[in-house]
């Protein structure tokens, strides 16, 4: 199949439409605005809804309504906007509404800058809103995956009636690469047992997140936890690069996984057996996979564009048997291959 | 104002099974509360209009959060103040639905103030039932935007003071100040005749929604005896005397008869049409194999110059053509803090292997279109690499002696073709002719994708050829 050379952010929109997404509700913010702009261009042309909401707070609530209405729906933003969406995310998680959220992370805290960071890991993977919930989190590292993982996010959101997030950094959003498109998907899922279709059949349905009786709310929470456990069992995704004989395991996602791939090659040229595990799903996190190396390696080398957020999950997964060392940059700085390699040498060799 | 709804409408459940506790017949509202009456009017209007099956009611946060105990309608409970945003999407997903956003004054006027104004301003085809009881009922009687001046609440223990809380908000007047809403009326529940008007207003709004007329807004002044610390009877009197004096009942906007309906329908689009619109069904490109020397294969490149010199599009042009020739390729613009200072640049990688980092510290090729970028980046180029610079514009020479240097008067050549903006394509020609990493035809094939204005394509083909000639003649 032939490919299109396209920006990651635009590949998200094409993937969404191919996945049968019926509505896009957004609010502009760099470096995610191309998503809203491409959605504004394409959604109405294929008979679907595009609306620029009054705020990110409203945009996520609109997806709450659209998902409740039974359609595939999405919103996209970048870090400060995602902070505002946390209210709606918590509600959608509790009401078990399949919503797809795309976060093109930028540097923070506060207004920060429009340059890339990966510092939304905690607010997305750990749940930035109130209550006991998880999002399904997918982390693309190419334009191709921006398309494919967006499509997967719709599928998983529906499969588990959960909020699924495509978590990318500004670099992955802004980068252009070849993308090969799958065929359009027909959404054939029958949601009439719970969704509001404004019909006689669905009149009995209730979308709700309030449970005043502790026993009821505990049971609801327990059901949610069971679902998240199910997701952990079924939906772990990762990628490995030169790990077979590795003495060191690198761990990185998004743009850092691209840089780390080159760092692995650099190390190998120098006779150092470095390999790379790239979590594609951040929740569920590939814990067992990471742990599986620990008897045979000298240590884990985690790199991320944050103050060290994913590293906590790596540490929880692998325990203390082998050192877990961290190389991070913040503030929108994306390190070079050489800088990361030097960081690795400092951590383990020198 | 009994808290029991006697003769139940079809749009109410006969037994309130969703309500916790023993009593499944009575509502949870306090004696004398206005919510029960308003529910009744909404239900009766729905029955009379015959729209029960297609009505969805959005419950707010407030005393009416439990609307779904009572209404035999599609029910959705939402976050505090956000009902208009949720209702917006419900209606757009199901244009045939009748969508009601039922909200209190704290919910609608305070926390959801922007959401209601924006939904009204967009002319969403929904009906808002706005219950104004001048107080936060559910949380125990705190001040609302609608609380009257001097009125005591648990957070205005000395009474509402204009210096601290400002004046009570006349929400219907605000909504009616917008152009889009088609119907705005304020009614009240203080006596039989006013209550009849309240009911008529709700029905009128719902009917207008059925006809696709636009945004309809029914404010209803409603008693909250518990919040006001009055008996039900005192509440009615107090409401008429005090709220009635400040908030005038009446129609603030009624253009139902004159408005053209906007009937929205969902259209179905075939997979084929989707692929056409998105351009995702892509025809394979012609292959034009070349045989470059090993040292030129799999280049990483940096293109730099002033914004407007076509630096970024030169990058996408080459990366796009490379993709069509079966290579992996990536393009990333200078982005974020690097962008300052007027110099734009981008990185391109072309490779027959998977591409790791899309940026590299030491590119194989630097193409510089202005002096600052030549001076800034020449030191980075890999030994044995290539520096190409626009010698029409740059009046210095690179100092490196371990790289190939090509001084190309690209802007001069472009000018001789009548348009300096094709200098970037001249450079592309020179680069391809020099390295043979792709054939001229490969780039010509990709030009229509890189250049949106059709009449510029021939010009760029000339520019490309001039680039090739430059290498042949030197
Ligand atoms: C985000 C958020 N903030 C605050 C609350 C607490 N809260 C619940 S109801 C309410 C006020 C509702 O008052 P109003 O809209 O006037 O409705 P009424 O109860 O008077 O009918 C508040 C502040 C909440 N549930 N959510
Ligand atoms: S507190 Fe007020 S609004 Fe709430 S139920 Fe009681 S009377 Fe009604």
CATH number at residue B143: 3.40.50.970
B40/B338: higher pLDDT: B40
Last-in-domain residue among B206, B228, B254? B254
Give residue B205's pLDDT band: very low, low, confident or very high (50, 70, 90).
Answer: very high
Q: In this model, does residue B96 exceed pLDDT 70?
A: yes
HEC assignment per residue over chain A: CCCEEEEHHHHHHHHHHHCCCCEEEECCCCCCHHHHHHHHHHCHHHCCEEEECCCHHHHHHHHHHHHHCCCCEEEEECHHHHHHHHHHHHHHHHHCCCEEEEEEEEECCCCCEEEECCCCHHHHHCCCCCCCCCCEEECCCCHHHHHHHHHHHHHHHHHHCCEEEEEEEHHHHHCEEEECCCCCCCCCCCCCCCCCCCCCCCCCCEECCCCCCHHHHHHHHHHHHHHHHHHHHHCCCEEEECCCCCCEEEECCHHHHHHHHHHHHHHHHCCCCEEEEEECEEECCCHHHHHHCCCCCCEEEEEECCCCCHHHHHHHHHCCCCCEEEEECCCCCCCCHHHHHHHHHHHHHC
* Domain segments of chain A as ranges: 3-234, 238-349
CA-wise closest residue to B445 among B340, B359, B325, B350: B325
Determine, yes or no, domain membership for B355.
yes
> Do B65 and B135 belong together in one domain?
yes
Give residue A82's pLDDT band: very low, low, confident or very high (50, 70, 90).
Answer: very high
pLDDT digits (tens, 9 = 90+) for B40-70: 999 999 999 999 999 999 999 999 999 999 9
User: Which residues of chain A are within 8 Å of residue B280 when distances are taken between CB atoms?
Assistant: 4, 14, 18, 181
| Mean pLDDT of chain B, nearest integer | 95
**What average pLDDT does range B8-34 have in this prediction?**
95
Give residue B474's pLDDT band: very low, low, confident or very high (50, 70, 90).
Answer: confident
pLDDT digits (tens, 9 = 90+) for B381-435: 999 999 999 999 999 999 999 999 999 999 999 999 999 999 999 999 999 999 9
For A172, nearest residue in chain B (alpha carbons): B332
> Do B190 and B280 belong together in one domain?
no
Q: Does A238-349 match A3-234 at the fold level?
A: yes
- Of B3-12, B236-245, B399-408, minimum mean pLDDT range: B3-12
Atom of ligand 1 lying closest to residue B227 CA? 20
Q: In this model, does residue B18 exceed pLDDT 60?
A: yes
Chosen CATH of A3-234 out of 3.40.50.300, 3.40.50.2300, 3.40.50.970, 3.20.20.70: 3.40.50.970
> Do B301 and B219 belong together in one domain?
no
A66 touches chain B (CB under 8 A): yes
B146, B225, B236: residue to mutate for ligand 2 pocket, most atoms within 8 A of CB: B225
Query: A238-349: what fold?
Result: Rossmann fold (3.40.50)
Atom of ligand 2 lying closest to residue B222 CA? 3
> Do B42 and B162 belong together in one domain?
yes
Picking from A2, A91, A338, the nearest residue to B79 by CB comes out as A91
How far, in Å, is the centroid of ligand 2 from the Cα of B105? Answer: 12
DSSP bridge pairs for B344: B305
Q: In this model, does residue A187 exceed pLDDT 90?
A: no
- What pLDDT score was predicted for residue A213? 93
- What pLDDT score was predicted for residue B336? 52
Determine, yes or no, domain membership for B183.
yes
Q: Residue B384: give its domain's CATH number.
A: 3.40.920.10
> Do B238 and B277 belong together in one domain?
no
Residue B244 CB partners (closer than 8 Å, separation 6+): B188, B190, B221
Tokens for B47, please give them: 């029955």
Q: How many CA atoms lie within 13 A of A282 on its CB side?
A: 30
Give how many domains chain B has, as a whole number.
Answer: 2
Burial class (CB within 10 angstroms; exposed 0-12, middle 13-18, buried 19+) of B66: buried
Which ligand is closest to the CA of B130, given by its number?
1
- What pLDDT score was predicted for residue B402? 98
Q: In this model, does residue B2 exceed pLDDT 50?
A: no
> Do B130 and B218 belong together in one domain?
yes
| Mean pLDDT of chain A, nearest integer | 97
Q: In this model, does residue B337 exceed pLDDT 50?
A: no
What ipTM did this prediction achieve? 0.97
Contact A213 B97 (CB under 8 A): no
> Do B184 and B294 belong together in one domain?
no
Give residue B322's pLDDT band: very low, low, confident or very high (50, 70, 90).
Answer: very high
> Do B296 and B204 belong together in one domain?
no
CB pairs A-B closer than 8 Å: 238
CA-wise closest residue to B332 among B292, B376, B363, B375: B363
Tell me which residue range forms the domain holding B395: 271-473
- Quote the CA–CA distance of B447 and B310 in Å, as a whole number: 13
Give residue B141's pLDDT band: very low, low, confident or very high (50, 70, 90).
Answer: very high
**What average pLDDT does range A189-207 have in this prediction?**
98
Give residue B341's pLDDT band: very low, low, confident or very high (50, 70, 90).
Answer: low
Q: In this model, does residue A152 exceed pLDDT 90?
A: yes
């Amino acid at each position: 199949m032939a490919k299109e050379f396209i920006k990651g952010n635009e590949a998200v929109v094409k993937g969404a439409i191919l996945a049968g997404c019926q509505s896009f509700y957004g609010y502009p913010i760099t470096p995610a605005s191309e998503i809203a702009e491409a959605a504004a261009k394409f959604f109405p042309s294929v008979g679907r809804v595009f609306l620029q909401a009054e705020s990110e707070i409203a945009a996520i609530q609109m997806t709450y309504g659209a998902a409740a209405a039974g359609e595939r729906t999405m919103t996209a933003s970048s870090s400060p906007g995602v902070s505002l969406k946390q209210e709606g995310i918590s509600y959608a998680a509790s009401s078990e509404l399949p919503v797809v959220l795309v976060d093109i992370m930028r540097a923070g805290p506060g207004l920060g800058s429009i340059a890339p960071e990966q510092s939304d890991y905690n607010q997305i993977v750990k749940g930035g809103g109130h209550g006991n919930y998880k999002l399904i989190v997918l982390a693309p590292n190419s334009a191709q995956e921006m398309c494919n993982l967006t499509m997967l996010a719709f599928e998983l959101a529906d499969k588990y009636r959960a909020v699924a997030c495509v978590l990318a950094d500004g670099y992955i959003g802004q980068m252009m690469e070849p993308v090969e498109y799958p065929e359009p998907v027909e959404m054939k899922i029958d949601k009439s047992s719970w969704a509001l279709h404004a019909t006689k059949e669905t009149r009995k349905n209730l979308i709700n997140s309030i449970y005043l009786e502790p026993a009821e709310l505990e049971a609801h929470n327990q059901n949610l936890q069971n679902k998240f456990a199910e997701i952990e069992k079924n939906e772990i995704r990762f990628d490995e690069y030169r790990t077979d004989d590795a003495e060191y395991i690198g761990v990185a996602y998004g743009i850092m996984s691209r840089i780390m791939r080159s760092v692995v090659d650099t190390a190998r040229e120098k006779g150092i057996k470095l390999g790379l595990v790239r979590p594609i799903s951040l929740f569920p996190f590939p814990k067992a996979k990471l742990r599986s190396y620990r008897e045979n390696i000298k240590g884990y080398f985690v790199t991320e564009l944050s103050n060290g957020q994913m590293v906590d999950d790596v540490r929880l997964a692998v325990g203390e048997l082998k050192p877990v060392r961290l190389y991070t940059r913040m503030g929108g700085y994306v390190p070079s291959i050489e800088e990361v390699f030097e960081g690795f040498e400092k951590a383990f060799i020198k | 104002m009994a808290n029991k709804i006697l003769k139940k409408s079809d749009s109410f459940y006969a037994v309130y099974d969703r309500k916790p506790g023993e009593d499944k017949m009575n509502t949870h509202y306090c004696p004398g509360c206005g919510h029960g009456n308003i529910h009744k009017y909404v239900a009766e209007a729905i029955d009379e209009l015959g729209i029960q099956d297609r009505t969805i009611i959005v419950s707010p946060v407030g005393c009416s959060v439990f609307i779904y105990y009572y209404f035999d309608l599609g029910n959705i409970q939402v976050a505090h103040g956000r009902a208009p945003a949720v209702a917006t999407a419900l209606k757009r997903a199901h244009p045939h639905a009748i969508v009601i956003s039922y909200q209190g004054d704290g919910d609608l006027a305070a926390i959801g103030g922007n959401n209601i104004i924006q939904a009204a301003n967009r002319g969403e085809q929904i009906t808002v039932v706005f219950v104004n009881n001048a107080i936060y009922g559910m949380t125990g009687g705190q001040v609302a935007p609608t609380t009257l001046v001097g009125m005591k609440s648990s957070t205005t223990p000395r009474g509402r003071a204009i210096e601290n809380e400002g004046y009570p908000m006349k929400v219907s007047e605000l909504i009616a100040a917008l152009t889009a809403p088609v119907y705005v009326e304020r009614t009240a529940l203080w006596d039989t005749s006013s209550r009849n008007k309240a009911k008529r207003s709700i029905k009128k709004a719902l009917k207008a929604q059925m006809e696709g007329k636009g945004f309809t807004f029914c404010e209803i002044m409603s008693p909250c005896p518990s919040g006001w610390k009055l008996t039900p009877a005192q509440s009615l009197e107090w409401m008429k005397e005090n709220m009635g004096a400040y908030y005038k009942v009446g129609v603030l906007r009624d253009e139902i008869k004159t408005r053209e309906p906007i009937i929205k329908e969902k259209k179905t689009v075939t997979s084929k049409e989707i692929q056409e619109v998105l351009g995702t069904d892509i025809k394979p490109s012609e292959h034009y194999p070349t045989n470059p020397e090993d040292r030129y294969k799999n280049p990483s490149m940096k293109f730099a110059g002033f914004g407007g010199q076509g630096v970024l599009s030169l990058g996408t042009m080459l990366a796009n053509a490379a993709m069509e020739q079966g290579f992996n390729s990536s393009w990333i613009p200078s982005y974020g803090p690097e962008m300052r200072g007027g110099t734009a640049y981008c990185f391109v990688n072309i490779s027959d292997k998977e591409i790791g980092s899309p940026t590299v510290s030491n590119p194989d090729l630097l193409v510089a279109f202005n002096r600052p970028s030549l001076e800034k980046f020449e030191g980075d180029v890999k030994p044995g690499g290539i520096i190409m610079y626009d010698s029409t514009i740059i009046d210095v020479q690179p100092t490196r002696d371990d790289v190939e240097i090509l001084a190309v008067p690209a802007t001069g050549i472009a000018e001789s073709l009548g348009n300096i903006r094709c200098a970037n394509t001249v450079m592309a020609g020179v680069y391809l002719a020099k390295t043979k990493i792709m054939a001229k035809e490969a780039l010509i094939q990709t030009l229509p994708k890189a250049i949106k204005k059709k009449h510029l394509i021939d010009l760029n083909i000339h520019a490309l050829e001039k680039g090739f000639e430059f290498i042949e003649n030197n």
